[in-house]
Amino acid sequence: MLVKVVAVQAQMGEKLTLEEKIHIFKQRPDFVCLPEYYLIDASTTDYHRAALNQPEQIEYLQRLSDELSTCVVGGTVVEADAGKLFNTAYVIDRGVLVGKYRKRYPVPGELAKGISAGEENLIVDVDSVRVGMMICGDVFYPHLYDELRAEHADIIFVPTTSLFRPDDSLSQKKYRDQKYFLSGATRAASYVVKVCGVGEIFGRPLQGRTLIASPWGMLAQTSMYEESMRRILTATLDIGDLREFRRKMSARTGAPPSGATARSIRTVTR
């Protein structure tokens, strides 16, 4: 089974242009992933204000999914619920909301400014493809990859914002991408799609280091010269090859830890 994935390294706070949407639509993707906090624009000064825009942001993502006739993953959106704020990624299949995932491990800056931690993983079946979610700093916690491996995730989407580091070297960037994403793909026996935004968030500049990884190597990645540019990465992923790899890997190393289970599972067939 072949599926086409599009990772959109988008400008923060700006909706996709008509040209970008036409480019994506012509590829007939099965999945389109957008960056963390993608729809927070320069006029939004904090997470509480961002949460006020949640309904219209979800409406935009649903409309985009319907227009592109695909499954849109991410954004993410600041979600207000029961007096708390969450960094939430939605999975929207052709305009229909089929699942959501709240970031399990907000970074210190998020926690200090009111973002609460989610408590559940998410696995969604879309056309027989098992989709898992992580958000940005969740990748610092390898046991989340173990949990998604235990649920046989085929693709793990990771909407991300990566802050610009003026003293960052190419070797440091490569090391982090290998440690947190390529190694994560191997650990989970899954494809991993990391999608970054460009521009700024709350006045802080970002670098776009979007990538698509497999357990056996990097499939696509923005270059060091494209980290401030809008880019659209596309990869065709062979789910059959992945599952055969996972089967052989499990036979050689044994089953994943028995305690690693996803606590929130929803299934959809389109």
Alpha-carbon separation of residue 225 from 136, 217, 231 (angstroms): 22, 21, 11
Alpha-carbon separation of residue 105 from 36, 88, 89, 260, 270 (angstroms): 14, 12, 13, 17, 31
Lookup: tokens for 148: 């998604």
Query: What is the number of domains present in the chain?
Result: 1
Residues 6+ apart with CB under 8 A from 248: none
Q: Could you read off the pLDDT of 157-209 as tens digits, one per residue? A: 999 998 888 888 888 888 999 999 999 999 999 999 999 999 999 989 999 99
| Domain extent for 123 | 2-268
Residue 52 sits in a domain whose CATH number is 3.60.110.10
Q: Could you read off the pLDDT of 57-66 as tens digits, one per residue? A: 999 999 999 9
My answer on whether omega of the bond before 234 falls inside 30° of 0, hence cis, is no
Distance from chain centroid for Cα 178: 17
What is the model's pLDDT at position 255? 56
Of 39, 43, 50, give the one whose Cα is nearest residue 14. 39
What's the pTM? 0.92
Q: What are phi and psi of 202, to 5 degrees?
A: 50, 40
pLDDT tens digits for the chain (270 residues)? Answer: 999 999 999 999 999 999 999 999 999 999 999 999 999 998 888 999 999 999 999 999 999 999 999 999 988 999 999 999 999 999 999 999 999 999 999 999 999 999 999 999 999 999 999 999 999 999 999 999 999 999 999 999 999 998 888 888 888 888 999 999 999 999 999 999 999 999 999 989 999 999 999 999 999 999 888 999 999 999 999 999 999 999 888 777 765 543 444 444 444 444
